[in-house]
Amino acid sequence: MASRIMVLGGTFLVKRQIFGQLAASAGLAALLAGCAANAPVQSASAPVAATPATPEQMLARMSLERKVAQIVMPDIGSITPKDVKRYRFGTILNGGNSGPYGNDKAPAADWLKLADAYWDASSAPLPGDEPVIPALWATDAVHGHANVIGATVFPHNIALGATGDADLIRRIGAATAVEIEVTGIDWTFAPTIAVARDDRWGRTYESYSENPALVARLGAAMVEGLQGRPGEPGFLGKGKVAATAKHFFGDGGTAQGVDQGDVNGDLKELMAIHAAPYPAAIGAGVASVMASFNSINGTKMHGNAPLLTGELRGNLGFGGLVVGDWNGHGQVEGCTNANCAASLLAGLDVYMVPEDWKALHASLVRQVKKGTIPMARLDEAVLRVLRLKQALGTFDGEVKPSARALGGRWELLGSAEHRAIAREAVAKSQVLLKNNGVLPLKPGARIEVAGGAADNVPQQAGGWSITWQGGGDLTAADFPGATSIYAGIAAAAREAGGEAVLAPEGNSAAKPDVAIVVFGEEPYAEFVGDRKDMAFRDEEGLELLRAYRAKGVPTVAVFLSGRPLWMNRELNAADAFVAAWLPGSEGAGVADVLFGKQAATGRLSFSWPARCDGTPVNGPEGALFGLGYGLDLASTSQLAPLDETCAALTADSGAAWFTSGKLGMRVQAVADNAVLPDLRGVGNGITATGIDRKAQEDARRIAFAKGAKLTLSGPDSEAGWRITYQVNARPGAPVTVTAGGKTLDITQGLSVAEGKGWREMVLGASCLGKTGDRLTFASKGAFTIAISEITRTEDGAATECSF
C-alpha cells in the first residue's frame, strides 16, 4: 500500500513500510533526498517554469548571497517584507515578544496579513535563472498557538506529563497545528523533549518528566500530532506543520538548574538521560532539531561538532535540519552574534539571529569566499532547508498563506473542539496529593473561592502566553473564550445545586461549607524562572489556608506552578491539596476533578521534594511524593504533620551589606585605596554610578578598567554572600573573586548571565573556603556589572556556589 508525499510539483510514491524505516533511521531529509528529479516548480511569473525541480538542481542555480540567506533566520521584529525581498531569507521567526507590526497583542488577522506579506516578498521574481524560494515562518507554539490572541492555550508540558496519555498529546499536537496554519505559519519550535533533572531550572514546566522514557513517548506523540505520521496520508499536509525536537541536548541537566549553563559528567551517562528522547522523535519523522544553549563539559552545543554532527547525525541518524536557538551561536567561544563560522562547521544548518542578521549574512559570505567555510558545508545546510520546504509542499504549487485551505479559517482558532481537548487535558493532569475526605465536593455545597490566582487567566496560563514571560499587564481580555478556575468552579457549583462565591482575600462574612484557595507561582519563562532553592516564598495561600482552618472551614488548596516546590506548610494547613500545574485557558478542567465529574487520574511525572534546599530529587531519595504518585477521589490520605523548617526562608533576613542604594553598617567599599561611600564614585580604575532598579538609584553600575579591583569589607563572619546582579555584556578577560585567601575565577558564570536580566550569585564556603570579612572582585580587562543587593546569609556558607 502506497502513501503520497508531496514534493516539487508532483507526488512521490513510497511504500509505507520503507518510509517508516527511513524515518526511524535517518529522519525526514534522508527520504526526501531521493525524491523525483524531474518534477516541475512553480515560478512567481509563470504557472510552470523551467527552473530546476529538485533541491540539488535549485541549489546549483543559486548565488552565494542567496545560499547564505537560506540559513539566516531573523526575527519579525527586526525585518520588513522589503528586507525579505532583497535578501531572500530562507526562514523567519517570531520570538516570544515579537508580534506583527510591533504589536505583541496583535489580532490574529494581522499574523496572517504579515505571513502573506513575507510570502509575496520572498516569492517575487528574480533576474535570470535564479530560483524563487519562498520563506518559512517558525513560531514557539509550546502549549498551543499561545502567542496569538484567541488561540487555545493548552496546559504546559509538565501537566501533560502528569496525564501520561500519548493519545491525548497527539490530539493536542493536531489541534495546535491547525491553529498555527490558520494564521499562515509553517513551522513550530516544539516539542521540548528536555529531561528536567533539577527543578530549580526556569524551564522545568517545558519538560514532560524527569523520566527519559516518558519524555520519549510523549514527545514522539506530539511530533506525530503536529506533523502526522510518516507514510500515512496527510503527513506534513493540510493542517500539519513542521515540528522541532528541542534542545539537543542536556538543557534539563545543567549544574544547579542554571538555564543555558554547563552539563558535566561522563558523556555516555549524560546521553543515556538527556539524549534518550531523541531516537523516538527521529523515528516519528521530526523535521528539525534545535541545538541547545547549554555546554557539555565546557563546550557550547552550538559549536560542538562531535555531538551535533557525530552523535546527532552519525549515531542517532538524524537527516533533517538543525536550527540554532536565539543567538546561541554568539555564545560559542570566539564568536559573536554577527560572526560565527564555528557553528556552521560544527553542524548547525540555520542560525537564529533575531537582530544581527545583516552583519551575520555579510560575515558568512566573506567566510565562504575566503574558504573558512567550505562551499560544500554551506551547500549541505542549504539543501536541508530546501528539503524541508519540499516536504511541506512549498514548491508544489503552494499559494500564499491566506489562500491555503485553512488560511483565515478563524472559526478554527480556539474552536470548541480544541477547547474541549484542552479541558480534558487539564482534568487528566490534576494530581491529588492529599485528601482528608473533603473531595469530591458535595452537591449543594456553599463554596468560597479565595486567592489571587482564582480568577486570573494570565497566571493559570503561565509563561509563553501571548508574551514571552506571560503575566505582567495581561488580563482576561487578552484570552477571549478562556475560563478562569473560579469561573469553572462557579459553573460546576450551580450545576450541583450549590453556589461558589469569589473572595480573593478570604474575607466574606458568611461561613462556607468549604473554601478553595487558588495560589501559586507568578508567570515566567526561561532563565527568569531560575531559582536557588525550592522554597515557595509567597505566603498568600498559606495565610488563607491557616485563616480558614482557624474558622473551622475545610479547605482545598489548588496550587499553580511550573514545577514541584516545597509545600510542607501548605500541605499541613490544607485538608486537600491539588497540584494543578499551569492549566492554560480551560480552567473548568480543574473543577471537573474537584466535583468528581472526571476521575483524578493525574500522576506525578516529577518527584516532589521533602526539603526546600534545592537538592535535585529524581527518585525516592529526598522525595515527599515519588514519581507516579497521585490519589484518586475514592482515596483519603492522613498525612503525618510535615517538617516546616526551611533554612532558606530563615536566611532571607540575613545581614545586608548593600541594599536600597546604601552600604550596611560597618561595611566599606574600596577601589585599592580609594573609598567609595555607598558604593558610588570613581577611584583607581573603578567607576560606580547609581542606576534605578526598583527605586531611584537603588542599584549601582560598576565599571572596571583593565586590572581594577573592588573590595567590600565588613563584620567578620562564616556566612556566605548572596548578590543580586546583572551582566549586559560578558567579560572579555578573566574576572575573579577572592575571600578568605582563596581566589575563584567567575568568568564563565558571568558569561552565562549575559543578557539575562537580574540574577542572584551565591558565594560561600563550598567554593571559597573561609569567607571572612571581605570580598574582592578583580577584572583583567574592561568589564561592567550592575549590583542591586549584597547580603550575608548563613545558608550561603553551605549552599553550592552559583551564578
Largest alpha-carbon pair distance within the chain?
Answer: 84
Instruction: Enter the C-alpha cell of residue 147.
Output: 502567542
Listed residue (772, 756, 755) closest to 764, CA to CA: 772
Spatial neighbors of 71 by CB under 8 A, at least 6 apart, are 90, 344, 349, 350, 351, 364, 378, 381, 382, 385
Q: Is 299 exposed, middle or buried (0-12, 13-18, 19+ CB in 10 A)?
A: middle
Of 104, 251, 311, 325, which one is the catalytic site residue? Answer: 325
Q: Which amino acid is at 494?
A: R
SS3 for 408? coil
Strand duo 674-675 + 681-683: pairing: unpaired
* DSSP secondary structure code for residue 598 in this structure: S
What residues does 321 pair with on adjacent strands?
A: 288
Spatial neighbors of 243 by CB under 8 A, at least 6 apart, are 173, 187, 188, 190, 191, 222, 223, 226, 227, 286, 287, 288
Instruction: Enter the C-alpha cell of residue 543.
Output: 495565610
Residue 83 annotated in active site: no
Helices 16-32 and 375-391: crossing angle, nearest 10°?
140
Alpha-helical regions (H) of 79-211: 81-87, 108-123, 157-163, 166-182
Helix (H) or strand (E) holding 492: helix 485-495
- Measured distance CA(233)–CA(215) in Å, rounded: 26
Q: Please tell me the number of Cα atoms within 13 Å of 191 on its side-chain side.
A: 41
Q: Are 723 and 789 in contact (CB under 8 A)?
A: yes
Q: Are 287 and 388 in contact (CB under 8 A)?
A: yes
Of 526, 530, 789, 795, which one is the catalytic site residue? Answer: 526
- Measured distance CA(164)–CA(268) in Å, rounded: 27
- Measured distance CA(725)–CA(759) in Å, rounded: 5
Listed residue (282, 794, 326) closest to 525, CA to CA: 326
Listed residue (55, 59, 2) closest to 33, CA to CA: 55
CA 530 and chain centroid, separation: 12
Residue 478 annotated in active site: no
Which residues are catalytically annotated? 325, 526
